[in-house]
Structure formats: C-alpha cells, structure tokens
Amino acid sequence: MALFRIATVAAADFMPCRADGIRDRFFHAHGLLGQSVIGVQLRSDETYRDYPHMPALVQALARSHVVLLFDSRPIPGYDFANTLKVDGLGLREAAALASGCRALVAPDSSFVHLAAALDLPAVGLFGPTDGAVRTSDYPHVRFVDVRRDLRCVPCWRNEEIPCALTGLRQSVCLGEIGPLTVAAAVADLIGETRFGRAAAAGGVRVH
C-alpha cells in the first residue's frame, strides 16, 4: 500500500539515532518520561474518513493518559488537560515523536500505517473504507467499525461521493462509533481494563 510505503520510509529513514534525539528531547521538555502517552492523529486528508467525535475521544483518553495530538496544520481547540498539540511537523518528525507513545489512534490515514511501520499498537477508526483490508497485515493494529448495524459498511466511497444515507460528506457510520468504545479498545490493546467492556456495546465491533 502506498501509505504504508511512505510510513515505512519515514520510520526507517529517520530512525533510530536522530529520531531518538528528537523524541527524547521533546519528552524530557514536557515531562513525559515515564508517562503513559497515547498519540492521536486528529484527521485524515479527506473529510469523509474523519471521526466526528474526536474532541470527546481525546477527553476520554486524557483521563488516563497524556495525549499527543498530531496534525499537519495548526490545531484549534482541544485545550484539555493532559493534552499536547504536535502540529505542523513533517512525517519523519511526527514518526519520531509517535515512536515514544504506548499506542496510536487514527482514522483511516497515515498513522495507521505508521503504527505498523513502527511496530506500535494502534486502533483505527473505519467506516466507508474497510479496516479488514487496510490492516490485514498489521498484527498490532485493531480497527473499529459498525458493520453489524450498517450493512453499507464498507461502501468504499470517496470524497466526491456523498454518504448514501444522508447525501452529506460526513460519514454516518463513523458517527455511530462512540468515544468510550474507542477508549475501551485502546485500554484493552495496552492491557488496561478501566473502561470495562464498552467496546462490545451496541453494533460497534472491535476487530
């Protein structure tokens, strides 16, 4: 996959020496050494793959972890406790900081593939595209979707084709994934259970 190749180049070309230095300086400067840090890519390059409840998800994760928020553009909002904005970095620099996280969370985007390249646990948020296909070769990446409730998942539409259920750009299927469901999937992935079994609620499935 093209994104995996890009992420692999970023990881391999920037790791380990220079990346370790960037990561260690950042973590030391922000008091993150020894902390439980989760990295979150806030959005994809195309809005139909974006997760509409991202602020609530970040708040849920920040109750138990320090959350690094990644975006290539300046990040408005998200001024929550236990969160740090990491914006405007190139993929190699972002990979260096991501390598210090316990796990990554992302919509169908580069960080799903970056997690695989870095051998990091990750939770991918999927709907219009198929997480089973995108993550089939990634043993440490789980994906969340609502295919049990919505038979149109995945529909494989693109940015130019509106959601068949609403006629809008935003994907209904992604909106049906609750933030606590994702937080529970992260907790299970890294061996914590403080969120209980919310990941099994409703029609949401963690794969």
Residue 183 in contact with residue 168, Cβ under 8 Å? no
Overall residue count recorded for the chain in this entry: 207
Radius of gyration of the chain (CA): 16
Residue 146 in contact with residue 167, Cβ under 8 Å? no
Sole residue written with tokens 């295919």: 147
- pTM here is 0.87
Q: What is the pLDDT of residues 74-126, one digit of tens each?
A: 999 999 999 999 999 988 899 999 999 999 999 999 999 999 999 999 999 99
CATH topology of domain 2-206: Rossmann fold (3.40.50)
Question: And the tokens for 65?
Answer: 């972890």
Residue 206 in contact with residue 185, Cβ under 8 Å? yes
Q: What is the pLDDT of residues 154-172, one digit of tens each?
A: 999 999 999 999 999 899 9
| SS3 at position 182 | helix
